[in-house]
């Protein structure tokens, strides 16, 4: 067998993938220390790089782990701001509805100049201009107003609906941020594998050319290696573009540039707890804020039926007034009065508006009931799907790890067979592609396991910031490059 030169040794090192223990961020390893004159030059470079980073720090997002990214997204989310504003609006609407049942106190005043001519009442004629003024205070208290009571209940239900909506968008933000965060890491891992594959195939292509020149190869092997290299370069371009798109998707949530993201450290996969699917479905039908929002809206719609129906009820109120008048009829004439009354009002005919309003409100109730039924079906299906995804992610990660190990061993064995002349370069190329695909599948299984944990809790409606902390604990602390 021919002596193994530097080119072969380089190729052999590139054929060796990472060890089966998952190490997704090799950039975090310490580099060997420089020696001699290069050490002082290296220090100057390090100090210069540190200065640049310090100056650029205000321009970069400070959030590098999941917690920091989530806080940035939480503070800048327009969806959260919208939900909070709608909740504040309905709180104010509740106060407006309650005010209709409270006493109303009002005051009035007027002043002016009157020109009057009076004849036939007094012995002499009165004619001239004189000053007049009037002051009054009125107090009114509803005693019976069915529509106002129903409107208050409807306003309370709308507040509960908005509270549930705010809880839902908060949980949705946690899911979206986690998905986008690990989406970036997954795309980076894909690009890393694609870059490694392109380097590997480039060396195989050069080796095929070298063998052809010395008469140990054939043109078909060179063409095959070239075709695989071109495909790998195209895949690398697509992978780099996917990284850029994933970063933009994350920045859409944070509304700020995101700095270097910390990757995951090795962890043990974990399935659903509790283990029974039906328990998760029951929790979802009880705790899912999207369903609680719809149920609160249904109560508000039913209260609106009462509002429309009670518009035909009589209303009873009590009122009192105190009034002072000066110069209203005659110059220097004063009149002070006070009184109280019970007021009764009942609509007799409103052109059919009351009946039409009741029918409209009932139709809205039926539509909301149908929406809740559809929502129940969707929540049940989404929870079951998320449960199965998390349950299956555990064996998927285990099998992906084993498949990656087997693919790396197969690649090494195929390469050895190629050196011995018992395997073709096409076999090596196929084994290299299989190893790269196994690495990609493993990376996706790692990130998919984490996302599956979050998604199941999101579909159930129990996702909380504590879950962000739990996932963040799986990250390794890597310095920004």
pLDDT, tens digit, for every residue of 209-235?
998 898 888 899 899 999 999 999 999
Q: How confident is the model at residue 203 (pLDDT cuts 50, 70, 90)?
A: very high
User: Nearest CA to 330 among 136, 112, 108, 127?
Assistant: 127
Domain presence at residue 428 = yes
Domain presence at residue 99 = no
pLDDT at 8 over 50: no
List, in sequence order, every residue forming a beta bridge with 335; answer none if it has no partner.
325
Domain presence at residue 140 = no
pLDDT at 59 over 70: no
- Could you give the CA distance from residue 436 to residue 343 in angstroms, rounded to a whole number? 85
pLDDT at 299 over 90: yes
414, 428 contact by CB (below 8 A) = yes
pLDDT for 478: 59
- Could you give the CA distance from residue 123 to residue 382 in angstroms, rounded to a whole number? 94
Instruction: List C-alpha distances in Å: 336 to 134, 137, 299, 320.
Output: 10, 12, 50, 14
Q: How confident is the model at residue 121 (pLDDT cuts 50, 70, 90)?
A: low
DSSP letter at 102 equals S
126, 330 contact by CB (below 8 A) = yes
* CATH number assigned to the domain comprising residue 188: 1.20.1600.10
Domain presence at residue 426 = yes
pTM for the full predicted model: 0.80
Per-residue pLDDT averaged across 255-283, rounded? Answer: 93
Domain presence at residue 275 = yes
Q: How confident is the model at residue 333 (pLDDT cuts 50, 70, 90)?
A: confident
Number of structural domains, the chain? 1
Domain presence at residue 200 = yes
Domain presence at residue 138 = no
Domain presence at residue 414 = yes
Phi, psi of 260 (to 5 degrees): -55, 135
Q: How confident is the model at residue 454 (pLDDT cuts 50, 70, 90)?
A: very high
Domain coverage including residue 208: 11-27+61-88+154-299+359-472
């Amino acid at each position: 067998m021919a002596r193994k030169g530097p080119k072969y040794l380089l190729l052999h090192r590139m054929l060796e993938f990472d060890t089966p223990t998952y190490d997704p961020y090799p950039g975090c390893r310490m580099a060997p220390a420089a020696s001699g004159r290069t050490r002082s030059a290296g220090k100057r470079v390090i100090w210069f790089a540190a200065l640049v980073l310090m100056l650029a720090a205000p321009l970069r997002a400070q959030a590098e782990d999941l917690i920091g990214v989530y806080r940035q997204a939480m503070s800048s989310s327009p969806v959260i701001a919208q939900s909070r504003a709608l909740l504040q609006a309905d709180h104010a609407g509740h106060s407006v509805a309650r005010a209709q049942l409270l006493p109303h106190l009002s005051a009035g005043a007027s002043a002016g100049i009157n020109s009057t001519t009076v004849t036939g009442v007094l012995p002499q004629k009165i004619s001239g201009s004189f000053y007049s003024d009037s002051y009054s205070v009125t107090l009114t208290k509803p005693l019976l107003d069915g529509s106002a009571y129903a409107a208050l209940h409807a306003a309370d239900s709308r507040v509960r609906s908005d509270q549930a909506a705010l809880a839902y968008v908060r949980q949705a933000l946690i899911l979206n941020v986690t998905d986008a965060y690990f989406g970036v890491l997954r795309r980076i891992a894909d690009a890393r594998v694609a870059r490694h594959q392109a380097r590997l195939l480039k060396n195989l292509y050069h080796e095929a050319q070298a063998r052809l020149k010395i008469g140990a190869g054939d043109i078909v092997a060179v063409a095959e290696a070239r075709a695989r290299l071109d495909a790998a370069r195209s895949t690398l371009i697509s992978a780099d573009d996917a990284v850029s798109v994933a970063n933009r998707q994350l920045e859409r949530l944070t509304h700020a540039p995101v700095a270097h993201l910390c990757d995951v450290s090795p962890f043990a996969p974990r399935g659903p707890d509790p283990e029974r699917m039906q328990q998760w479905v029951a929790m979802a039908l009880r705790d899912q804020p999207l369903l609680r929002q719809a149920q609160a809206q249904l109560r508000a719609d039913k209260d609106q039926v009462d509002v429309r129906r009670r518009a035909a009820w009589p209303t009873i109120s009590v009122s009192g007034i105190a009034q002072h008048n000066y110069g209203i009829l005659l110059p220097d004439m004063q009149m002070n009065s006070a009184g109280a009354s019970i007021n009764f009002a009942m609509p007799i005919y409103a052109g059919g508006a009351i009946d039409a309003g009741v029918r409209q409100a009932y139709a809205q109730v039926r539509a909301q009931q149908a929406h809740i039924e559809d929502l129940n079906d969707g929540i049940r299906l989404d929870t079951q799907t998320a449960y199965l995804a998390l349950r299956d992610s555990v064996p998927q990660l285990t099998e992906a790890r084993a498949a990656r190990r087997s693919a790396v061993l197969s690649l090494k064995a195929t390469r050895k067979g190629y050196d011995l002349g018992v395997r073709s370069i096409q076999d090596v190329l196929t084994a290299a592609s299989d190893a790269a695909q196994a690495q990609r599948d493993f990376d996706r299984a790692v990130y998919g396991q984490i996302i599956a944990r979050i998604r199941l809790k999101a579909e159930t409606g129990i996702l909380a910031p504590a879950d962000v902390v739990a996932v963040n604990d799986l990250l390794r602390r890597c310095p920004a490059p």
